[in-house]
Amino acid sequence: MPSLFDTVQAGALQLPNRIVMAPLTRNRAPDAIPTPLMIEYYAQRASAGLLITEATAISHQGQGYSDVPGLYGTEQLDGWKRITEAVHDKGGRIVVQLWHVGRVSHTDLQPHGGKPVAPSAIAAKTKTVLIKDGVPTFVETSEPRALDLAELPDIVHSYQAAARNAVETAGFDGVEIHGANGYLLDQFLKSGSNQRTDDYGGSIKNRARLLLEVVRAVTGAIGGGRTGIRLSPVTPANDAHDDDPQPLFDYVVRQLAKLDLAYIHIIEGATGGPRDMPDRPFDYAELKAAYRAAGGQGAWMVNNGYDKAMAEQAVKDGADLVAFGKPYIANPDLVERLRSNAPLNKPDQATFYGGGAKGYTDYPALAN
């Protein structure tokens, strides 16, 4: 019988267990540069089968929140290299999540105070985080502008360059492409945010075009075996919505099956919220079946509100990996706690976004 604590292969990544630390935005990288405190944070959690970093911007234009890290500058890559070395010294595996937020941004965060970009000039009914004088504040996102067709190749190139820099310069074991949660690639996928009439809008094939171009470019640079992707078929996060998500995402995973990815990371239900959404029904078993039927061999990662019992059942039902989010904020030794059925520390929500060591690196491990 498969166990959470079995070793598992995900493409080129040999993982010591099936427990994954989900990407968690923590807003502790001023000027988009990873800090020494982040070294400690990630190294503390190196016993995970796989660490997925917080979402990390591929370009200045891709930034959407204050004090989140980037992958487009030398100081940023140097900072990440110190983190990957610390994780590897602890025997861990770590991939970086590649992020372009699209319309989920603010003019204060954009180059030269410009408008955020999007598939269509439709504002997201959501908020972002600005940090001023050390105080995080939620503010409405700014009105975006629609990307010109001629701009899209540069965005694809930015993903590719970020992936290559992540692996070859910063020392990551691979990358995860963020195609979820209402950010740029998800905005192109979903009908609620994509009203284009060119080759990147309208039909399912057209709306999936940019995401698939990005994945092909990234795998061309670092190999499919070091590339994962995160998808969220029905989450309402950041004003995401599609009129008919099942055929859209069935198509997407059938195309991804051809690219020999390390893993597919699926958010079930509303990100950080309800798993069951009667107003947005979706068949995740059908999605996985579509991927496998098309020849997809990547590990299948499930995510959203899992505890140990749910995770064990998911593995019995065929999931290869289970991602844990909030439990990893407060429990750097989550693998050991799950293995021994130890109680979990409770996370301090007031310290989730921004700040210093408090609520970040000061949660006690079992040995302490």
Distance, in Å, from the CA atom of 334 to the CA atom of 324, rounded to the nearest integer, reads: 9
* Class of residue 316 by CB neighbours under 10 A (exposed 0-12, middle 13-18, buried 19+): exposed
Which residues fall within 8 angstroms of residue 344, CB to CB, at 6 or more apart? 327, 330, 331, 334, 337
Alpha helices in 90-195 (DSSP H): 152-168, 184-189
Q: What is the 3-state secondary structure (H, E, C) of 311-357?
A: HHHHHHCCCCEEEECHHHHHCCCHHHHHHHCCCCCCCCHHHCCCCCC
Catalytic residue among 65, 183, 284, 363: 183
What is the C-alpha separation between 132 and 2, in angstroms, rounded? 48
User: Is 183 an annotated catalytic residue?
Assistant: yes
Residue entry with tokens 């979903």: 190
In the structure encoding, which two tokens stand for residue 246, read together?
Answer: 């099942």
Nearest Cα neighbor of 322 from 330, 333, 310 is 310
**CA dist., res. 323 & res. 20, Å (int):** 4
Whole-number Å distance between alpha carbons of 309 and 286: 23
Q: Which residues are catalytic?
A: 183
